[in-house]
Amino acid sequence: LKELTKTKEEDINNDMPAIHGELVVVVVPFLPRAASIEWHVIAVVDQQQQRQKLTQMRSLESCQIRCDAMQSYPTCATVVTISLTLTSSSASTINLDVVLHGLVEMFKQVVEKMSKYGDITPLSFRTFFRTNIVKREPLKTGLQGHLEEQMGQKAPALIMVPVVDLPGNKIIHIACWLSQ
C-alpha cells in the first residue's frame, strides 16, 4: 500500500514530493448510544506556493504548547491545531489555568496572523483530552472562560472529546476550523 501511494503521489505531483500535515490518532474510550464517528479531512487542490504555514511553540513549567496553522489560497481553507505535551513525568505540577491562558493566547495570535488576507472566524474548538490526566469540567470551564475573555464574540464553539490516549506525551490536542 505504501508503494502504491508513493507511486500515485509521484504521478500526481510529477517531480514534487507530497507534503502531508500532522497525523493525530486518538482512542475514544466509549461512544454514547446512537453516536456516530466523524472524520475531519482537508483536501485542497492548490500549489504549495499558495499555502501559508505557521508554527509557534511555547514552553511552560512541566509542559509545552505547540500551535500549527495552515491556510490555502484562494479558497482560504484554514485549520489550526494546538497540542499540550508533558515535559515532566508528573501532570500534577501543571497549573491548568496558566496553561489554558497561554494556549488560548497563542491561538488568538495565530488567528490574527492568518487573518491578514481576510477576516477569518473560528468555528469549533474540538478538544481531545486524556481523561486519566485532565478532568473534563475544569478543562471545559477554563477553556470557555479564556476563549470568551480573549476572543469575545469570535470565540469558537467548544466541543469536548474525552480520549484514552494521544500520541507521545500529549495530554490535550485541539483542532479548529476557520471560515472566511
Please give the domain boundaries of the chain with CATH numbers for all domains: 50-179 (3.30.2320.50)
Reported confidence tier of residue 1, pLDDT bands at 50, 70, 90: very low
Residue 25 reports pLDDT greater than 70? no
Q: 62 or 31: which carries more pLDDT confidence? A: 62
Given a cut of 50, is residue 117 above it in pLDDT?
yes
Check whether the bond before 138 is cis (ω within 30° of 0).
Answer: no
pTM for this one?
0.74
CB atoms within 10 A of CB 17: 10
Sign of CA pseudo-dihedral 95, 96, 102, 106:
positive
Strands, E assignment, the chain: 51-60, 63-72, 77-86, 121-130, 157-163, 170-179
Whether residue 133 has pLDDT greater than 70:
yes
83 contacts: CB under 8 Å, gap ≥ 6: 65, 66, 67, 170, 172, 173, 174
Phi, psi (degrees; rounded to nearest 5) at 103: -65, -45
Does 140 score more than 70 pLDDT?
yes
Cα–Cα distance measured from residue 98 to residue 110, given in angstroms and rounded to the nearest whole number: 19
Which whole number is the average pLDDT over 157-180?
89
Q: Quick one: pLDDT band at residue 72, thresholds 50, 70, 90?
A: confident
Confidence of residue 164 (pLDDT cuts 50, 70, 90): confident
Q: Cell numbers at residue 82, please?
A: 494546538
Residue ranges of the alpha helices (H) in 21-174? 96-114, 136-151
pLDDT of 4 reads 44
pLDDT bucket at 23, cuts 50 / 70 / 90: low
pLDDT of 9 > 70? The answer is no
In the predicted model, is pLDDT for residue 11 greater than 50?
no
Question: What is the residue-averaged pLDDT of the chain?
Answer: 79
pLDDT of residue 149: 95
Q: Can you give the pLDDT at residue 57?
A: 95
Average pLDDT in the 29-58 region?
A: 68
Residue 142: predicted pLDDT: 96
